Amino acid sequence: MTEPVLVETVDRIAWITLNRPDAMNAINTAMRAALPAAIRAADADPAVRVIVLRGAGERAFCAGADIKEFVEVPSPTDYRQQRIHESWIAAFDQARKPILASVHGVCLGGGTEIALACDIRIAAEDALFGLPETGLGIITGVGGSQRLPRTVGLGAALDMMLTGERIGAARAREIGLVTRVVPRAELHASTAALAAHLAARPPMAMQFAKEAVRSAMDLPLRDGMRLETDLITLLLNTEDRLEAARAFREKRPPDFTGR
Ligand code: COA
């Protein structure tokens, strides 16, 4: 059986590929188990500094939950288990390293939710985002209703959630759903260049920057300011901070170790 998720680590970048191209990389039960495991493994791997998520095949990043698995109503036991267990998307929130979503083609439902759970979203010009769930008689299930308004604001989020309409890459950038749009043919190279750029930066500063900014969505300002002070105090005691200052003085590129 083909693996639902592929992982390849090259030059400190873990490339995680949603790998069901014949089903537009729809999220089935196997992928729902393999994806968080891949994120956790990459986050724990000292050889990895940046994680990239992408979709296999020409047509899609991810077409959302596998609708073919929707036909059966879950048994009360399965349903209870789902409510007890932490959602698989929590792996994204718990990851300390930066996660990039590299989106081409169809990115609907859970696909948009996965992209929203990543830290930076780069899209090809052919990318199509949308949350069609309400048309299926449900709503988003892995954070879309919470992350979308935090990312694009209440108005654009309600528009997308209630209408289920798809939006293209240009509109997605306009509302802040993605921050970078590139021609389809350049998506891989642009993603690789951005990932390499992030991987060359001081790993602890990257992780703490992510923690600080993400916390801004949850914390009152005073607590967020306190967290920032704590995090910068920790960073002031790192070797990488001294390496950055030395490299600047010596007019050479820095070599960060993550210590
Ligand atoms: N779940 C399961 N299979 C899916 C899927 C999904 N979410 N999205 C696409 N596929 C499968 C199709 O069933 C088809 O496989 P098949 O030929 O073996 O049946 C294959 O992917 C290609 O999709 P197809 O519909 O033939 O391509 P299209 O270009 O006509 O349409 C989409 C593409 C993505 C617009 C359409 O497939 C679609 O609307 N999918 C559902 C998206 C959605 O609502 N996701 C949210 C779920 S909560």
> How does pLDDT run along the chain (259 residues), one tens digit per residue?
789 999 999 999 999 999 999 999 999 999 999 999 999 999 999 999 999 999 999 999 999 999 999 887 778 887 777 777 789 999 999 999 999 999 999 999 999 999 999 999 999 999 999 999 999 999 999 999 999 999 999 999 999 999 999 999 999 999 999 999 999 999 999 999 999 999 999 999 999 999 999 999 999 999 999 999 999 999 999 999 999 999 999 999 999 999 9
State how far the Cα of 123 lies from the Cα of 186, in Å rounded to an integer.
10
Place of tokens 């043919």: 185
Rounded to the nearest angstrom, the distance between the alpha carbon of 93 and the centre of ligand 1 is: 27
199 CB neighbour count, 10 Å cutoff: 18
Question: Of 84, 159, 74, 169, nearest to 121 (Cα)?
Answer: 169
Place of tokens 């997308």: 160
Q: How many residues does the chain have?
A: 259
Active-site residue, from 72, 113, 174, 186: 113
Question: Can 113 be counted among the known catalytic residues?
Answer: yes
132 lines ligand 1 (CB under 6 A): yes
* Ligand 1 mutation target, pool 24, 27, 103, 126, most atoms within 8 A of CB: 24
176 CB neighbour count, 10 Å cutoff: 12
Place of tokens 């209408």: 163
219: left (phi over 0), alpha (psi -120 to 50) or beta: beta
Helices assigned H by DSSP within the chain: 29-44, 76-84, 90-94, 110-117, 144-152, 154-163, 169-175, 187-199, 203-215, 221-236, 239-249
Question: What pLDDT is recorded for position 66?
Answer: 95
139 lines ligand 1 (CB under 6 A): no
Residue nearest to atom 40 of ligand 1 (CA): 63
Question: Can 72 be counted among the known catalytic residues?
Answer: no
Rounded to the nearest angstrom, the distance between the alpha carbon of 23 and the centre of ligand 1 is: 6
106 lines ligand 1 (CB under 6 A): yes
Cβ proximity of 161 and 148 under 8 Å: yes
In eight-state DSSP terms, residue 88 is T
67 lines ligand 1 (CB under 6 A): yes
109 lines ligand 1 (CB under 6 A): yes
Tokens of 131: 């949350």
